[in-house]
Amino acid sequence: MTIEKVKQELHNHIGDLVTIKYNLGRNKFEKYDVVIKELYNHVFLVELNKEHNSEIKSFSYSDVITKTIKIDY
């Protein structure tokens, strides 16, 4: 998988609700239900909606390639 393929896949899902599973290491994971907001050259932004409070997180495309995060569309 290349960065261009990851960008194209994310571009197809801008505005969609997806689930991101983030590997923190040592068998620790965080799971987020997010909306893909924006794509940039090296990172993409997602928005979490938590009970009247939204939070923006950023991830790099290499996180997807190295399987640090897993995105379920």
3-state helix, strand, coil in the chain (%, to 5): 20, 55, 25
In which band, very low, low, confident or very high, does the pLDDT at 50 lie, cut at 50, 70 and 90? Answer: confident
The predicted structure's pLDDT at residue 56: 95
> What are phi and psi for residue 27, nearest 5 degrees?
60, 30
CB–CB of 27/35 below 8 Å?
Answer: no
- The three-class DSSP label of residue 12 is coil
CA Rg value for the chain:
12
Mean pLDDT within 60-72: 96
Residue-wise pLDDT for 25-34, tens only, equals 999 999 999 9
Model confidence, pTM: 0.88
